[in-house]
Amino acid sequence: MKKQSHITLADIAGRLGVSRVTVSKALRGHPDISDGMSKKIRRVASELGYSPNRMARNLSARRSHLLGLVVPKIAHFFFGSVIESVYAKALEHKYETILMVSHENEEQEIQHLQTLVSMRVDGIIISVSARLKDTRIYDWVRQMGIPLLFMDRIPDPQPKGSTAVLVDDYGGSMKAIEQALAAGHTTIACIGGDTNVNIGRNRVQGYMDALTRHGLDIKKEWIIAGGYGTDVGYHGFMQLLELGPLPRCIFTVTYPIALGVYAAAKARKIRIPEDVDVICFGDSDVGGLLTPALSCVNQPTQRLGEESVKLIMEMIEHPDSVPPGNRIIPTEVIVRETCVARGNRPLSSVLGGQGRA
């Protein structure tokens, strides 16, 4: 057990024969204190190895300069990048970030939220877990007077008056499908997602709408839901295989799913892109190093993190100046070695004359 008694303001004050308040002010650069005094105080403080007690400071100041961040996972490129970006941006605003991992588990998420409230963080950014949610917890957080911002993943139904920073899932998926079409594919399956969370729903919707918009049929068996992880891709591919002849192309709702598809194809000795082509939503640092290099719709992770921090800071400083609603960040297609468009023919001519699949 720790018993080490730390240096306090009183210790410094005693040494110089001034009051604690003077020391407190000096150390925080308050203009009240004269330069000479200030210097003396700082010197003594550092001599004594003074470390201000943030708990005490926060308690007294009713302000923690702490930002809560809740995500479902860490060890994944997408979240890892977003987290780094949030940390960096928050630091620019002199905020420390308290990270919590829900492991896609609703109970843990609720508990983490309670903990963050308990810690009296000044604001919370959350990417909700992929489970069906009782969204009351989010309202509770806001009732406790803590600004809450949804990032990338929002609960369904989205709480009234809530604010979110999102990636253009719908539009991005359409772009992905259009890339597949440009590559000459007319039979395209979709693996991943679920209906509880916006990202899955919107990406699948984008897939479907792109198909119908271009006059293609939607084959229900070729829409394989189930989640967002590598396993979903692996098993989804196997399932597709049992269904009969493979589609010419597979669109996956996340990058890890595509990885699973690669693994399954490799296991079954099915070649990509010759036998079946792949394109996915989301990128990673190794996307370009796979063989074949995976084409994708990239998610602007850095921007997502930065915009979110910027917005939550606004919400903290000027709660009423931020109108609720969703901010959507656009995406772009990165074409590598899968789903490569044929020649230079524009999309329309590639599609021309193919009619329905």
Contacts with DNA by CB under 7 A lie at 5-6, 8-10, 17-22, 24-25, 27-28, 31-34, 37, 52-53, 56-57, 59-63
Query: Restricting to residues 289-328, which ones interact with its own copies according to CB under 8 A?
Result: 289-291, 316-317, 319
Residue 252 Cβ vs its own copies, minimum distance, rounded to whole Å: 14
213 binds, among its own copies, DNA, none (CB under 5 to 8 A by kind): none
239 binds, among its own copies, DNA, none (CB under 5 to 8 A by kind): none
24 binds, among its own copies, DNA, none (CB under 5 to 8 A by kind): DNA
Name the packing angle between helices 20-27 and 9-16 (round to 10°). Answer: 110
* Residue 238 binds its own copies, judged by CB under 8 A: no
- The distance in angstroms from the start CA to the end CA of the chain is 71
Helices (H) and strands (E) in the chain, counts: 13, 12
61 binds, among DNA, its own copies, none (CB under 5 to 8 A by kind): DNA
Contacts of 236 (CB under 8 A, 6+ apart): 191, 192, 224, 226, 252, 257, 260, 261
* Residue 347 binds its own copies, judged by CB under 8 A: no
Q: Is the dihedral of CA 135, 141, 145, 149 positive or negative?
A: negative
Q: Which is nearer to DNA, 21 or 347 (CB)?
A: 21
119 binds, among DNA, its own copies, none (CB under 5 to 8 A by kind): its own copies
The distance between the two most distant Cα atoms of the chain, rounded to a whole number of Å, is 91
Q: Is 64 strand, coil or helix?
A: coil
Residue 218 Cβ vs its own copies, minimum distance, rounded to whole Å: 30
C-alpha–C-alpha distance, residues 309 and 306, integer Å: 5
Tokens 């959350």 sit on residue: 126
Binding test (CB under 8 A) with its own copies, winner from 15, 20, 25, 120: 120
Q: Is the dihedral of CA 273, 275, 277, 278 positive or negative?
A: negative
How many residues touch its own copies (CB under 8 A)? Answer: 63
Binding test (CB under 8 A) with its own copies, winner from 11, 15, 106, 115: 115
Write the DSSP assignment of 284-298 as a string of letters: -TTGGGSSSPPEEEE
Residue 316 Cβ vs DNA, minimum distance, rounded to whole Å: 15
Pattern of binders to its own copies over 146-175, x per CB under 8 A?
x-----------------------------
Residue ranges with strand state E in the chain:
66-71, 96-101, 123-126, 148-151, 163-167, 188-191, 223-224, 249-252, 277-281, 295-298, 325-329, 332-334
C-alpha–C-alpha distance, residues 272 and 255, integer Å: 16
List residues near its own copies by CB under 8 A.
1-4, 6, 49, 51-56, 58-59, 62-64, 73-77, 80-81, 83-84, 87-88, 96-101, 103, 114-115, 117-120, 122, 140, 143-146, 230, 256, 259, 262-263, 266, 284-286, 288-291, 316-317, 319
